[in-house]
Structure 1
Amino acid sequence: MTSITPARPSLTSNDSAVLQALFDAESSPSSGIKINSSLPSWPAFLNISESDLPSLKQRESEIIRKIQGDESSSQETVSSALTEFDNLILNNKTYPSAYINRAQALRLLVDLIHNKETGNSEVPNTEIQDGALFSPQTSQLCSRIFSDLGQAITLATPASPADAVSSVQARLLADAHTHRGYLLLKAARAKKACSGDENAGPERLRGLGSEQLEEMASQDFFFGGRYGNKVAQQLAVQTNPYAKMCGSIVKEALRKELEG
């Protein structure tokens, strides 16, 4: 009598690659990014001369030092620094780094205002609070943060995905995408906790639900990981809606197997 042995289920190479990309943070990031350390800091289409970079970096450093030198992180000091960043950007509109640093200063100002509003006397450390994103007093500033991060990403992103990027360019894109993903994730969490007013918060996020915001965060973490940010690589997996869905299915299957 011929015995019949059930065939073991097998995955195609494509299925395996998809699952690997979903669950393994090391499998996907940076594989399609070409980083060439010999390239100029910024691509030619930004019209930033290498000879101008030292003075631009020095001006940025001087502004940042003013903030760091103020132990109390006063609103006046941060507002003054923001004015200086405004002037720097006004004269150098294609310089991506200035937008990133202005976004950081704006984050600090948001927390200062929110802490004053809520009676929190602690000195902020640029760890923007969930509630601050949806506070009427700070929502406009938060919109500016997203605008600056978006502009930095737009300026620094290569014209073609096949184009190589410099080390400086890759680092900025990693930081900007990760920064924006982090704020979007906080916004998603705040949306879940708030009363459900879809018109609350930064203008760019109004009308978006928590799941949409989390998917946007996941996309930014993915790109942050591709450009080399290790934290973003892990967060891209944790927030990936398909990975979460597959994870839930696997957990449910294991639960049923254990119960059986």
Structure 2
Amino acid sequence: MIASDNAVLELIFNPELQGQGFSSLETDTQEKDKYATDIDPKVLQELKQTEQEAIELANNGKLKDALNALNTCISREPAYAPAYNNRAQVNRLLKDNDAALKDLDSAIEKANGQNWILRQAYTQRAILKKQMGDKDGSLEDFQLGAKHGSPIAREIAVSENPYAKMCNQAVMEVMSREFNIQ
């Protein structure tokens, strides 16, 4: 699929982007570099470093140490939304779903409208809600994750949505009839 096809599909799945042009679709890396905050740049760099250390600790199975590092980040700067996303992940690994949900709510609240944070938080919260048996809440969050650009959330939202399933089935039937005629 060529880039313009991807842009058209993005506009179909995210109609609120219409009129903003294709240049408004940014990659995660570009968006992360534009973290919108009033945090002093030096403090922000320190927070990112502490957050990276926490991620490495978690990857090495040192979940309590990772949690402590992320707590330090959040204590130092409560408005730093990415730390809440990562702490939610650590809390999920520690099987503390209530704490994870609270962190994801905080990440969404503090995201300042930034798609890359919202995309991660909504998708992560949707997965957690699904595991906890909240199908409606999960679908709603997958749809919000998709709206903010998560391809995983988009796929799941479409596959879980009963109306989308019916539409997909109808389209497949029409296409199979069309191809059988020709």
> TM-score w.r.t. structure 1 length?
0.52
1:104 to 2:104 alignment: no
Give the 5 Å matches for 1:1-260. 27-29=12-14, 31-32=16-17, 41-44=34-37, 47-69=38-60, 73=61, 77-110=62-95, 141-158=96-113, 169-188=114-133, 213-244=134-165, 246=166
The superposition leaves residues 148-189 of structure 1 with CA deviations (integer Å, 9 ceiling, x where unpaired) of 01110111143xxxxxxxxxx32221111111111112222x
Give the partner amino acid of 1:147.
Answer: K
Structure 1 residues 184, 26: closer, same or farther in 2, change over 3 A?
A: farther
Other-structure match for 1:131 = none
Q: What's the offset of the Cα at 1:224? A: 1.1
Other-structure match for 2:5 = none
The number of equivalent residue pairs is: 157
The superposition leaves residues 11-56 of structure 1 with CA deviations (integer Å, 9 ceiling, x where unpaired) of xxxxxxxxxxxxx997223743856758973335xx3233432211
Q: What's the offset of the Cα at 1:83? A: 2.0
CA RMSD, 1 decimal? 3.2
Q: Is the 8 A contact 1:25 1:233 kept in 2?
A: no
Higher relative contact order (CA 8 A, sep 6+): 1
Supply the distance in 1 between the matched residues of 2:50 and 2:90 (Cα, whole angstroms): 15
% identity of equivalent residues? 29
Other-structure match for 1:126 = none
Give the partner amino acid of 1:227.
Answer: H
Give the partner amino acid of 1:41.
Answer: K
Query: Any stretches of 5+ residues in structure 1 without a counterpart?
Result: 1-23, 111-140, 159-168, 189-212, 251-260
Larger helix fraction of residues: 2
Q: What's the offset of the Cα at 1:232? A: 0.9
Supply the distance in 1 between the matched residues of 2:34 and 2:91 (Cα, whole angstroms): 25
Query: Secondary structure of the equivalent of 1:93?
Result: coil
Structure 1 residues 29, 214: closer, same or farther in 2, change over 3 A?
A: farther
Supply the distance in 2 between the matched residues of 1:39 and 1:104 (Cα, whole angstroms): 18
Give the partner amino acid of 2:156.
Answer: L
Rg comparison, structure with higher value: 1
> TM-score w.r.t. structure 2 length?
0.71
Query: Any stretches of 5+ residues in structure 2 without a counterpart?
Result: 1-8, 171-182
Supply the distance in 2 between the matched residues of 1:184 and 1:38 (Cα, whole angstroms): 26
Q: Is the 8 A contact 1:180 1:217 kept in 2?
A: yes
Moved over 6 A (4+): none
Supply the distance in 2 between the matched residues of 1:79 and 1:148 (Cα, whole angstroms): 16
